[in-house]
């Protein structure tokens, strides 16, 4: 059985339920607070992602897959374009890219905390209710 990915709000962010700005790290500082983490540096974000990926045993979390995914020649596949390559940033983009596509049985699905962080641009209250409120 696969271990579920524990950063629920990071998954919601990756899937577009939360607003994305042009400052990925500023977004992640706030999103990780919703998952009960406090970050002081961008490296903190990287280490939190690293620990949670390590605890997961989904195929995309395997070392081989990660190394291929963050290779400079493959970074474009996860929307990471760079002038100066940064492995930690590439890894974060790799994780977010993969989280966009994980199934509901691979993470603990919870309603986005839109009162604490704005919902995504195309997310309406009706869409939130349809997706997350049990009838």
At 14-73, the pLDDT tens digits run 999 999 999 999 999 999 999 999 999 999 999 999 999 999 888 898 999 999 999 999
pLDDT score, position 81? 80
Give the model confidence (pLDDT) of 58-75 as tens digits: 889 899 999 999 999 988
Residue 135 pLDDT level (bands cut at 50, 70, 90): low
Q: Evaluate whether 39 touches 48 at the Cβ level (below 8 Å).
A: yes
Count the residues in the chain.
135
pLDDT score, position 2? 64
User: How far is the C-alpha of 95 from the C-alpha of 97, rounded, in Å?
Assistant: 5
Q: What backbone torsions phi and psi does residue 91 show, to the nearest 5 degrees? A: -65, -45
The residue written with tokens 């839109």 in the block is: 114
Segments of the chain assigned E as strands = none
Q: Whose CA is closest to 120, among 15, 6, 43?
A: 15
């Amino acid at each position: 059985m696969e271990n579920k990915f524990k950063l629920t709000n990071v998954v919601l962010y990756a899937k577009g339920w939360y607003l994305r700005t042009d400052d990925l790290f500023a977004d992640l500082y706030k999103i990780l607070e919703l998952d009960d983490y406090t970050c002081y540096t961008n490296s903190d974000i990287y280490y939190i992602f690293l620990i949670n990926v390590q605890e997961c045993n989904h195929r995309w979390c395997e070392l081989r897959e990660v190394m291929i995914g963050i290779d400079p020649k493959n970074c474009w596949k996860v929307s990471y374009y760079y002038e100066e390559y940064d492995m930690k940033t590439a890894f974060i983009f790799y994780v977010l890219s993969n989280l966009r596509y994980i199934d509901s049985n691979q993470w603990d699905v919870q309603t986005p905390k839109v009162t604490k962080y704005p919902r995504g641009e195309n997310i309406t209250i009706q869409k939130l209710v349809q997706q997350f409120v049990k009838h």
